[in-house]
Amino acid sequence: MTTCTNANAGDAGSFPGQDGRFGRDAAAAAGALTKVGGGAAGFDFTALDASGNPIALDGSGVPVSTPVCVRDNVTNLIWVADGAVNGSLTWGAAQAYATTYSLCGYASGWRLPTRRELLSIVNFGAYLPAIDTNFFPNIIQISPYWTSDITQFGFAYSLTVFFADGTASADHQTNPNQVRLVRSGP
């Protein structure tokens, strides 16, 4: 491991561009990030009601009512806001459930997210929970959330993400876990 000192930080250092001076979080910290919606640091979320209409934000960027869905204005993914979709389900049951789901004006297209997609809403600058609860209420921190990704251990295991700290892991597909559905935006 290399420590981040003045000698190796910055553009002329041994590891240029790896000192946290770039990206959406750095732009937000500098007050230079334009957002469409709200959210902590570099996140840019629009809260949606049950019909898919945007929910207004208060003066501090918090939705004035509880979101039903959330559009990520960076990835253009639409998420089910509530972290307890139909409780805990096995991986196969969660896959089947997604195909019948209808919410926020979208009667189809819902699915389990990939690991990378699910990690895109983890706030690694927060802990217990590592997600913006203004946009994603009722988060279950101590139970993993399914992803659509199958592990290298075989088809009986899929990847999961914990929202306590953003840890990714694997679990047997017959175990019940939490479900957060996603779909591509319009």
Q: Please report, rounded to a whole number, the percentage of residues in the chain having pLDDT higher than 90.
A: 65
Q: Give the model's pLDDT for residue 103.
A: 93
User: What is the mean pLDDT of the segment spanning 64-71?
Assistant: 96
Tell me: pLDDT of 19 over 60: no
User: What is the mean pLDDT of the segment spanning 35-55?
Assistant: 94
Nearest C-alpha neighbor of 86 from the set 66, 100, 65, 107: 100
Q: Give the model's pLDDT for residue 54.
A: 97
What is the per-residue pLDDT across 98-153, written as a single tens digit (0 to 9) for each? 999 999 999 999 999 999 999 999 999 899 999 999 999 988 878 899 999 998 77
Q: Which residues are registered as beta bridge partners of 69? A: 48, 80
Q: Give the model's pLDDT for residue 37.
A: 93
Q: Give the model's pLDDT for residue 23.
A: 62
Tell me: pLDDT of 27 over 90: no
Q: Which residues of 72-97 are buried (b: 16+ CB within 10 A; e: fewer)?
A: bbbbebbbbbbbebeebbbbebbbeb
Q: Give the model's pLDDT for residue 98.
A: 94
pLDDT band at residue 8 using 50, 70 and 90 as cut-offs = low
Tell me: pLDDT of 94 over 90: yes
How far is Cα of residue 146 from the mean position of the Cα atoms in its chain? 12
Tell me: pLDDT of 3 over 60: no
What is the per-residue pLDDT across 168-178, written as a single tens digit (0 to 9) for each? 999 999 999 99
**E-state strands within 4-156:** 45-48, 69-72, 77-80, 145-150
User: What is the mean pLDDT of the segment spanning 83-96?
Assistant: 83
Q: Give the model's pLDDT for residue 85.
A: 61
Q: Which residues of 98-126 are buried (b: 16+ CB within 10 A; e: fewer)?
A: beebebbebeebbbbbebebbbbbbbeeb
Q: Give the model's pLDDT for residue 96.
A: 95
Q: Give the model's pLDDT for residue 147.
A: 96
